[in-house]
Homo-oligomer: A and B are copies of this chain.
Amino acid sequence: MASRRPTIHDVARQAGVSHQTVSRVINEKEGVLAETRTRIKAIIAEMGFQPNAIARSMSKGQTHTLACIAPNLTDYTFASVIEGAENEARQRGYFLLSSSAVTPEATRDLVAELVGHRRVDGLVVINPYADERYRYIPDNFPVVFVGACSRKDCIESVSLDDEMVAYEATRHLLLLGHRVLAMVTGPMREDCSQDRSKGFRRALAEAGLRPDLGLIVEGDWSASSGQDAFFHLLEQGQSPQAVFAQNDRMAMGVIRAARQAGLRVPENLSVIGVDDMPLASYFEPPLTTMHQDMQQLGQEAARLLLSKLQDPSFRHSHVKFPAQLVIRQSTMSQKGGERHS
């Protein structure tokens, strides 16, 4: 078996120089004769020496590791953010440690280990305001939030322009001639749901329509909550011409409920979602939705975090990304709508 891995000292001995000179070489620093440098490089290659990252972290006081905390790792939206952040981090020589923290308490413990034990240099936190988890995020540590951020004075954030996204989705419905619009929201304690609701209302107001509170139902992002929401609407005697679901899963639920109630989508009901989740185009009918590039959000989050690490005086910023309307087949123009009015 290969004896223990070579260290900087082994290389130094072999080259007949001090370990310090070797250190200078591996760090590409000035002050080494070109000749010495190449000789040492050859020996490094020959011995298969690779610097120990832990030892490096030890003396430099930084780990070159970032962590991403998400409610879970499987949700496509979160996974995309993580993937984007991981790519960006690695490209810049950092690793990304991703962890799921289901509850605020789990978040607290996770942060305690990650930050308290100095395992990472910075944190990307996804959806910190979905519950009380943001409380446990220290603000004297490099952090970037993905999703809305209330602590705008001290923490960076990257998010979708939720108000605008909802506005555009609603406009699409309006332009199709629908006048009786329903909305299924996410949990209203989340800023995201609030902002999307605002966008919906703004579009309605601009079209001279008043939002009917009876046509707004709160869901929890799940498909079944969308289904329940639409049934609830029906039970209340409502009969919307179109529904804006604040995410695709709930849109799926709405479509299923509509079908079960004997309604055809889009002939009798237009439905639009947000996310453009995988296979949205394979649903029946293919879902019209707002496409968002969460990977890009993750990438930007990591980029921001790394800038902050390199320059602590980095001015904080709050980046908002747009989304694109993807028209498929779950929406169509209101039959005989506008022209009679």
| Chain A residues packing against B (C-beta within 8 Å) | 1, 5, 50-55, 57-58, 63, 65, 72-74, 76, 79-80, 82-83, 86-87, 90, 95-100, 112-114, 116-119, 140, 223, 249, 252-253, 256, 278-279, 282-284, 295
> Cβ of A252 and Cβ of B279 under 8 Å apart?
yes
Cβ of A263 to closest chain B Cβ, rounded Å: 14
Complex copy number for this chain: 2
Pairs of residues from A and B, 3 with the lowest C-beta to C-beta distance, nearest first: A284-B284, A53-B117, A50-B116
User: How many angstroms between the C-alpha atoms of A65 and B116 in the bound complex?
Assistant: 16
> Cβ of A83 and Cβ of B90 under 8 Å apart?
no
CB-nearest residue of chain B relative to A295? B74
> Cβ of B54 and Cβ of A58 under 8 Å apart?
yes
User: How many angstroms between the C-alpha atoms of A253 and B283 in the bound complex?
Assistant: 10
Q: Contacts A97-B95, A99-B95; is A52 near B118 (CB within 8 Å)?
A: yes
> Cβ of A82 and Cβ of B73 under 8 Å apart?
yes
Q: Contacts A76-B74, A99-B86; is A52 near B283 (CB within 8 Å)?
A: no
> Cβ of A54 and Cβ of B100 under 8 Å apart?
no
A100 to chain B: which residues have CB within 8 Å?
A: 83, 86-87
Cβ of A86 to closest chain B Cβ, rounded Å: 6
Q: Contacts A76-B76, A97-B65, A99-B95; is A279 near B223 (CB within 8 Å)?
A: yes
A50 to chain B: which residues have CB within 8 Å?
A: 112, 116-117
User: How many angstroms between the C-alpha atoms of A96 and B98 in the bound complex?
Assistant: 7
A74 to chain B: which residues have CB within 8 Å?
A: 76, 79-80, 83, 278, 295
User: How many angstroms between the C-alpha atoms of A98 and B65 in the bound complex?
Assistant: 12
A117 to chain B: which residues have CB within 8 Å?
A: 50-53
A-B contact pairs, 30 of them (CB 8 A): A1-B140, A5-B118, A50-B117, A52-B117, A52-B118, A53-B113, A53-B119, A54-B57, A54-B58, A54-B63, A72-B83, A73-B98, A74-B79, A74-B278, A76-B76, A83-B100, A86-B99, A86-B100, A95-B114, A95-B119, A96-B97, A96-B98, A97-B98, A98-B98, A223-B282, A249-B279, A279-B279, A282-B283, A283-B283, A284-B284
> Cβ of A118 and Cβ of B256 under 8 Å apart?
no
> Cβ of A73 and Cβ of B86 under 8 Å apart?
yes
CB-nearest residue of chain B relative to A60? B54
User: How many angstroms between the C-alpha atoms of A117 and B116 in the bound complex?
Assistant: 24
A119 to chain B: which residues have CB within 8 Å?
A: 53-54, 95
> Cβ of B53 and Cβ of A118 under 8 Å apart?
yes
A80 to chain B: which residues have CB within 8 Å?
A: 74
User: How many angstroms between the C-alpha atoms of A96 and B110 in the bound complex?
Assistant: 12
User: How many angstroms between the C-alpha atoms of A74 and B76 in the bound complex?
Assistant: 6
User: How many angstroms between the C-alpha atoms of A249 and B63 in the bound complex?
Assistant: 40
User: How many angstroms between the C-alpha atoms of A249 and B114 in the bound complex?
Assistant: 37
User: How many angstroms between the C-alpha atoms of A100 and B84 in the bound complex?
Assistant: 10
Known: A58-B58, A282-B283. 11 other contacts (CB 8 A): A5-B118, A52-B117, A54-B63, A54-B118, A73-B83, A73-B98, A76-B76, A82-B98, A90-B99, A95-B114, A223-B282
